Amino acid sequence: MPNPGNVIGGHKANLHNPNTSEESKQRSKEILDSEFDGGDTAKYSSAHQEKHYTNPSHVTAGNNSSHYSGSTHSGNLHSGSTHSSTHAHGSSTAHGANPGNVAGGLKATISNPNTSDEAKERAKERLEHDDFTSRVPRRHLFNSPKHLNNINTMAAEIINTISPITGEIIQTRNGVSDADFDGILATATEAFKKFSKTSLEYRQGIVKKALEILLSKADELGKEITEQMGRPIAYTPGEVKTAVMRGEYLLKISTEVLADTPGEPQDGFKRFIRKEALGPILVVFAWNYPYLILINSLVPALLAGNTLLLKPSPQTPTISERMVEIFKQAGLEDGVLQTVHCGNVQTLEKLVKRPEIRSIAFTGSVAGGIAVQTAAASRVVPVGLELGGNDPAYVRADVDIAWAAGEIVDGAVFNSGQSCCSIERVYVHEDIYEQFLKEVVKVLEGYKLGDPMDPKTQLGPVVSEKSAEAIRKHVEDAVAKGAERMTPEGVFDAGVAMGKTFVRPELLANCTSEMMVMKDETFGPIIPVQKVSSDEEAIALMNDSEFGLTASVWTKDVAKGEELIESIEAGTVFVNRCDYPSPDLAWVGWKNSGRGQTLSKFGFDAFVRLKSFHVKNYPK
């Protein structure tokens, strides 16, 4: 749910903005008077709660040797500490959208019989006075609420990004409205006609250059990630670098993957199968590993010849904007990539239903994925879903206990546990159970929770106060049902004192299957441990879940480990590793963890359609 204080701040800014119309000021005053009961943030209306999916969720983890190899996603439809404030009238402009799209949206506003005369008049004035010929996007990159005066307060929604570090508004965007769709989609469709006819070699050149530019900006872009979602600065440049490595692999295999497939040879006939581009693709991606998640779809979709609409999480709005800029610098034509800012489920659902959208790639929570899938159900369109997880690890009795403890802690708490594929539940053989807990305590004593801008910090804040509350609720539920807290006292006190979003790691012993931490996705720095007496018991418990993203077995007996993972119901199964989506393997979720796949040669499938050619020689 959006932070009520942010909503109030947005409407108060409207009241004091000299550029705001009297009608808009009156609406803001009415909202402040009625829905917030004079500004009491605790009385945010249930109507708004039901309208906004601002429930933050998910992120990533990984072994320090493997962070960024691909830990990815989650989060609800627009997760993170953000707010989208919806107004009754006026068209909105997607940040970074083609100015022609803005003009198209204004024209649609004028021709819409349901638009008020005042709104039509404002649209006419903008058409007459604004420069829509410029290809330079209008940017709204703000560092404090005072800059709200520059935002279009008549936009369909104003989206604020709240820093998980300070709790302040650090980014503000105008969201798109229905009126913008015609222009945005027309641009994407028109660009597709030309771009899809270019050669694969040409597109490979563009992608190669863009990846080089992206790599050169790793430190700059890493800092933006830290500011917007709170991961420590020691790690965020690594995400950008790993995204480049992943993109380079997909680029390397693209010639072979996208080549024609020959049919059976036969005299007098020529038969083959071609992979052709689909058209405009909508990519909705989460905040927890935004560059890694985006690269999974962006690179194969572009190489196949599609155009893309990139819908970032409101928590990390700059990611798609930066990618559009980088590909523009690399020589990509206008209109092939566009950013679409949206902070509410209703507008996104309407966009999903548009027939111009030929495929949808969604990364986020289960609830968000189901909402997108439901919206798309009225027509035949591919929907790829990369959703949440509750990933288990099983530690066998034969391991080096100290080593396994370090690996498990890293896989569970890296990025504050905000990963779809972080370790969320741990099963340990009874023969080493007590010693394993002691070794985990030792590992945690070496961690630092604190300011994510400090290079020595290993754990920063979780994405929002709401997320922190959900994590603490899971811990409280476990303790109430018999779990024992074993986190070393005093180690994380200074970090916890920094604010409500600074959540310390929690080692929970004596966990059982009915606890929320063992059956739901916590998406936080929690290590819940349950004792098992055999391999068979461990595998049965690992499979007792609605999720099936990844799972890991830790053992000296690698052959036995391979045997055990054969029986695990998950898309990726590891022996002696975790949280590493390798680009040469399909990244795929089983059960409620998703549908479809990214990465590997199969990661191109969602962005192409097959066309069979069957040619017979003319009879002589």
Specify the pLDDT at position 489: 95
Q: Which domain does 461 fall in, by range?
A: 391-582
Residue 224 lies in a domain: yes
Please answer whether residues 310 and 297 qualify as being in contact, where contact means their C-beta atoms are separated by less than 8 angstroms.
Answer: no
Residue 154 lies in a domain: no
Q: What is the pTM of this model?
A: 0.79
The residue behind tokens 């009415």 is: 30
Specify the pLDDT at position 620: 83
First to last CA, the chain: 73
137-155 residues labelled b (16+ CB within 10 A) or e (exposed): bbebebeebeebeebbbbb
Please answer whether residues 579 and 550 qualify as being in contact, where contact means their C-beta atoms are separated by less than 8 angstroms.
Answer: yes
d(CA 302, CA 607): 9
Mean pLDDT to the nearest integer, 194-208: 98
* pLDDT at 448 > cutoff 60: yes
Query: Are 338 and 401 found together in one domain?
Result: no
Residue 277: φ, ψ to 5°: -65, 155
pLDDT tens digits, one per residue of 503-536: 999 999 999 999 999 999 999 999 999 999 999 9
Residue 105 lies in a domain: no
pLDDT bin (cut points 50, 70, 90) of residue 61 is very low
Q: Give the CA dihedral 534, 537, 542, 544, nearest 10 degrees.
A: 180
Beta bridge partners of 269: 616
Per annotation, catalytic residue among 239, 321, 386, 521: 386
Query: Are 179 and 228 found together in one domain?
Result: yes
Query: Are 228 and 330 found together in one domain?
Result: yes
Q: What is the CA radius of gyration of the chain?
A: 25
Q: Residue 194 CB: number of other CB atoms within 10 A?
A: 12
> What is the CATH number for 163?
3.40.605.10
Please answer whether residues 289 and 60 qualify as being in contact, where contact means their C-beta atoms are separated by less than 8 angstroms.
Answer: yes
Query: Are 545 and 441 found together in one domain?
Result: yes
Q: Report how far Cα 130 is from the mean position of its chain's Cα atoms.
A: 34
pLDDT tens digits, one per residue of 91-136: 333 333 344 444 555 565 566 666 666 556 655 654 554 433 222 2
* pLDDT at 575 > cutoff 90: yes
For the chain, counts of helices (H) and of strands (E): 20, 23
pLDDT tens digits, one per residue of 225-271: 999 999 999 999 999 999 999 999 999 999 999 999 999 999 999 99
Query: Are 359 and 217 found together in one domain?
Result: yes
Query: Are 380 and 423 found together in one domain?
Result: no
pLDDT bin (cut points 50, 70, 90) of residue 30 is very low
Token readout for 66 is 């493997």
Sign of the C-alpha dihedral computed for residues 363, 365, 571 and 611 taken in this order: negative
Token readout for 491 is 């180690």
Mean pLDDT to the nearest integer, 408-431: 98
Specify the pLDDT at position 471: 98
Q: Report how far Cα 172 is from the mean position of its chain's Cα atoms.
A: 18
Between 310 and 30, name the one with better pLDDT. 310
d(CA 387, CA 382): 16
Query: Are 379 and 397 found together in one domain?
Result: no
Query: Are 421 and 472 found together in one domain?
Result: yes
Specify the pLDDT at position 63: 39
Q: At what angle do helices 218-229 and 236-257 cross, to 10 degrees?
A: 120
Number of domains in the chain: 2
Query: Are 370 and 251 found together in one domain?
Result: yes
Residue 526 lies in a domain: yes
Residue 111 lies in a domain: no
Residue 163 lies in a domain: yes
Please answer whether residues 296 and 603 qualify as being in contact, where contact means their C-beta atoms are separated by less than 8 angstroms.
Answer: yes
Residue 45 lies in a domain: no
Residue 26 lies in a domain: no
Query: Are 406 and 344 found together in one domain?
Result: no
Between 26 and 161, name the one with better pLDDT. 161
Beta bridge partners of 275: 610
> What is the CATH number for 493?
3.40.309.10
Task: State whether residue 82 is helix, strand or coil.
Answer: strand
Please answer whether residues 98 and 334 qualify as being in contact, where contact means their C-beta atoms are separated by less than 8 angstroms.
Answer: yes
d(CA 42, CA 3): 10
pLDDT tens digits, one per residue of 305-360: 999 999 999 999 999 999 999 999 999 999 999 999 999 999 999 999 999 999 99
Query: Are 367 and 410 found together in one domain?
Result: no
Q: At what angle do helices 236-257 and 290-304 cross, to 10 degrees?
A: 20
Q: Is 321 a catalytic residue?
A: no
Token readout for 600 is 């590997």
Q: Residue 534 CB: number of other CB atoms within 10 A?
A: 10
Specify the pLDDT at position 538: 98
d(CA 359, CA 383): 6
Mean pLDDT to the nearest integer, 146-155: 46
Query: Are 332 and 187 found together in one domain?
Result: yes
